[in-house]
Amino acid sequence: MKLRVATWNINSVRIRTDQVKRFAEEVQPDVICLQEIKCQDGEFPADSFLEMGFKHMRVKGQKGWHGVATVSRLPIEDAPLLDLCREKHARVVSAKVAGVEIHNFYIPAGGDIPDRTVNPKFDHKLDYYERLTKAMAARDRKDPILLSGDFNIAPGEFDVWNHRHMLKVVSHTPIEIETAEKLRASLDFTDLVRAAVPDPLKLFSWWSYRAQDFRASNRGLRLDHLWASPGLLPAANKDGKVSAFVHDTAREWDKPSDHAPVVVDLDV
């Protein structure tokens, strides 16, 4: 069966429920992994998602900040829980849909100073990655695992608008690039979007609100990811081709999130 999975840092789900509805109508995802929902569990607009056809939901909310939710048209089963955040933030929700283990992350941004000895937020970010890397290294390569969400790292030279400049900026510093690669290597994950859109084409999923015309400035970063374990890769790689894309037109909508949805098609 076909399974279309999307990830989107929605930057407040109650403000942008109509935008999720528009996205669902245009792109027809079966599963949407949302980050930064910025509401508590009971405040999540479940009725709106039911009207969209997403009858199955897993929500991990938090007052004011953070929060993640996975909504699905198909039944959701339990998946292994990941307790990774030392600050006890709502940063991951896990679900199994059509046999695929989907982990939906909002990984810490890390503040402004890329030095874990003086910046607790940056230390928290690296600590989160280290815990996740350890957890994935213990898994079986045959397990069909999808890591999704806002990883807050643009790992490649062509995932940022200016590689040399961004090497000094949190999200693309050498230690972050190395940290993301350790996670990828922990279970030999495949970055599905880059498998579909190879380097050297620049590709972004986030653009700052500071630019009046995000396309004209195009100072973007690719922070939002979909990574497949070896056990899931055959479902994404049909006839030697991966179907994955950034739905960047959502960034053009009125009062958008600063992130655009990222989508992959699986055959499970």
Tens digits of residue pLDDT in 119-135 = 999 999 999 999 999 99
Greatest extent of the chain over all pairs of C-alpha atoms, in Å = 49
pLDDT at 233 (0 to 100)? 98
Tokens of 40: 């508590």
pLDDT at 221 over 90: yes
pLDDT at 96 over 90: yes
Domain 2-267 annotated CATH 3.60.10.10: yes
pLDDT at 176 over 90: yes
Evaluate whether 10 touches 18 at the Cβ level (below 8 Å). no
Q: What angle do CA 62, 129, 3 make, to 5 degrees?
A: 70
Own/partner contacts of 207-214, CB < 8 Å, gap of 24 or more, are 207/251, 207/258, 208/258, 209/258, 214/251
Which of the four pLDDT bands, split at 50, 70 and 90, describes residue 240?
confident
Tens digits of residue pLDDT in 241-258 = 999 999 999 999 999 999
Tokens of 14: 């109650």
Which of the four pLDDT bands, split at 50, 70 and 90, describes residue 168?
very high
pLDDT at 212 over 90: no
Tokens of 208: 């700052």
d(CA 171, CA 155): 8
State the average pLDDT over residues 205-215: 93
pLDDT at 132 (0 to 100)? 98
Q: What percent of the chain has pLDDT over 70?
A: 100
Own/partner contacts of 96-100, CB < 8 Å, gap of 24 or more, are 97/3, 97/5, 97/30, 97/31, 97/56, 97/72, 98/1, 98/3, 98/30, 98/74, 98/268, 99/144, 99/268, 100/3, 100/5, 100/144, 100/145, 100/146, 100/232, 100/235, 100/266, 100/268
The pTM (predicted TM-score) of the whole model is: 0.98
pLDDT at 74 (0 to 100)? 98
